[in-house]
Amino acid sequence: MPQRKRNFVNEEIHHVILKRIGNELLFRDTDDYYRGVFSIYEFNTSKPTEIYIRRRARIAEKKKVGGPTSHVDERKKLVKVLAFALMPNHIHLLLKQLKDNGITNFVKKIGSGYPLYFRKKHNQTDKGYFFKGRFASIHVKSDSQLIAAFAYIHTNPLSLIEPGWKGGKVKNPRKAIEFLEKKYRWSSHQDYLGKKNFPSVTDRDFLLKTIGGQEKAREIVNDWIKHKKAIKGINKISLE
């Protein structure tokens, strides 16, 4: 049966999930996670992307001026990345489309670029599918769904320390909060709390305004951890 074409509308928001095929790991080590975050940033452009060329140019400029690079970001973004979380075998993205076909093209770039890096690094000769079929997407139509997606994405990494937490209560809320706020780097959660983790990757102003600021962002996530507080729309977000 042919797949139904999805029409992503500019200025509308979608929760997107890219999952590695089978049970294979998407990220095996710290370098892979860094490359995953870097890919989210670098592939968010309508221009052709050659990561290694851009990185070499930045390194050369840094050496030339003897300090932090003065590289001017002239990218024409395809989407606004509102939030993200990297998991061992999948990626969560909260995206607002800026250009026609922006979400589709952005995901395609990640879907072709990251596997090239991964296979070269890990000496894999397999040329088959890397990601699982068509990426999953959920249209976020209201503020309540937006807050639900925000909480869901940023609490997703808890499954790494409490594998069954989604089916019940979090056993140790304090430990869970500390894990997300201080130990787990591979999401936008810490940036939303004011800590500069990967600040260039996300556009946070819109969500912070909708939510009510940094402390409200912390409160939303912590309430969900402590009380499994019912958030309207959360059941529509879980597609894993």
Nearest to 25 by CA among 122, 94, 169: 122
**pLDDT above 70: residue 101:** yes
DSSP structure class, residue 11: T
Of 103-107, 169-173, 201-205, minimum mean pLDDT range: 169-173
pLDDT band at residue 239 under the 50/70/90 scheme: very low
pLDDT in tens, 196-217: 999 999 999 999 999 999 999 9
Of 17-31, 42-56, 69-83, 143-157, minimum mean pLDDT range: 42-56
This prediction has a pTM of 0.85
**Would you call 187 helix, strand, or coil by DSSP?**
strand
